[in-house]
A and B are shown apart, each in its own frame.
Chain A
């Protein structure tokens, strides 16, 4: 069980893809204009990562080292395309909302990174968990970043929730600041960079505070040179 706990902790905090590994920044920065967008993309990524890790792991000993990357990419692309098609066919309303994110997931290098560094070396169950937890870690960052950008940029939270839960959910949209005129910068691309920088700084600060007695112990914070 200890191993599973470590996988969960790595995904959600220690090795968080969004603020520690800094992988998969393209969708992170592009799609986090609102909290709902960020969460949706994050969740879709988590599901894809869980499935791709789970499908690479059982066949890992049959894949020669030289061609592992093309094979991994092939598997991931096939799975993502199949998910995209199936969602379009069987849960169409959800596809209308998430549809644009799904093909983006193939280009997200965090998926390939976890397949390569974890699923290619570990049994199926831990691999699936690792993929899903890494994805959830990313989803957390995306939701937070989306929330901050939406709040500063538009003064609302949860706008667009009606697209996922139906028109009745419109009442769930929170107008935090009434009569807010908006702060466009937060919604535009620079807002994504500034917001992400603040999140990384916050995470580093929290980690440093935790390990204050021995400042050198914060090994995971070394810049990747």
Chain B
């Protein structure tokens, strides 16, 4: 009796282990053959998002390999380590592209891609991820409205610090009635990204790539 239970248990266990091994092997193999193509398509996607905030004719380097890491916290208020990419034309740094996070959106973080030129003007701002209310706060997304283009060519010199607010708060940025929290968060995050770049001008626009590749 006991023997048959042991035998049954062992065979059941063996089958479970066998299926786990087959499953693991299958997944490992799939991962291995898809790794390179996935990396390539991710890179292409990233380059495309860069082109939305900075015109292609303003840089000629491989942005993906030209970046510095910014630790979490600090002026950018990012939750995780984030990258600041340096755009160069004929070896000279012309602009930086950074990923900023607005942590005070209406529902969750709003992730932004922001390009700042060396003269301090914005190349452009795009929302890359958000969870704002559909139909109400989502006009910050280029897919749902042109509002985000208000930031094109804006800068700290063009608009003074105290004017970097939505109109309701006495600033100069328009917004749509009914959803003020969302644009307020985006304006604030863009402003602090601009201040960050201004403060770290020397480091970010250094002559040589942070990592030489």
Contacts and interface: CB of A to CB of B under 8 A. Distances in A.
Interface in B44-79: 44-45
Interface string A170-188: 0000000000001010011
A143 to B, nearest CB: 19
Contacts of A28: none
Nearest to A74: B23
Interface in B5-39: 11-12, 15-16, 19-20, 23, 26-27, 30-31, 33-34, 37-38
Contacts, number: 62
Contacts of B20: 74
B145 interface: no
Contact of B23 (A75, A96, A153, A184): A75
Contact of B38 (A63, A74, A77, A88): A88
A184 B44 CA distance: 35
A81 interface: yes
Interface in B114-159: 133-136
B30 A81 contact: yes
B27 to A, nearest CB: 6
Given A62-B15, A66-B12, A86-B30, A78 B134 contact: no
Contact of A85 (B23, B38, B45, B135): B38
A86 B12 CA distance: 32
A71 B20 CA distance: 8
Contacts of B23: 74-75, 77-78
Interface residues of A, number: 27
Given A85-B30, A85-B31, A67 B135 contact: no
B16 A67 contact: yes
A96 B16 CA distance: 35
B41 A71 contact: no
B5 to A, nearest CB: 12
A89 interface: yes
Nearest to A66: B12
Interface in A59-105: 62-64, 66-67, 70-71, 74-75, 77-78, 81-82, 85-86, 88-90, 92, 96
Contact of A81 (B16, B27, B37): B27
B134 A82 contact: no
A158 to B, nearest CB: 15
A78 B16 contact: no
A87 to B, nearest CB: 9
Given A67-B15, A82-B26, 9 more contacts: A62-B15, A75-B19, A81-B27, A82-B27, A82-B30, A85-B30, A85-B34, A88-B37, A187-B134
17 contacts: A64-B11, A64-B12, A67-B12, A67-B15, A77-B23, A78-B23, A81-B30, A88-B38, A89-B37, A89-B41, A153-B135, A154-B135, A184-B133, A184-B135, A187-B134, A187-B135, A188-B133
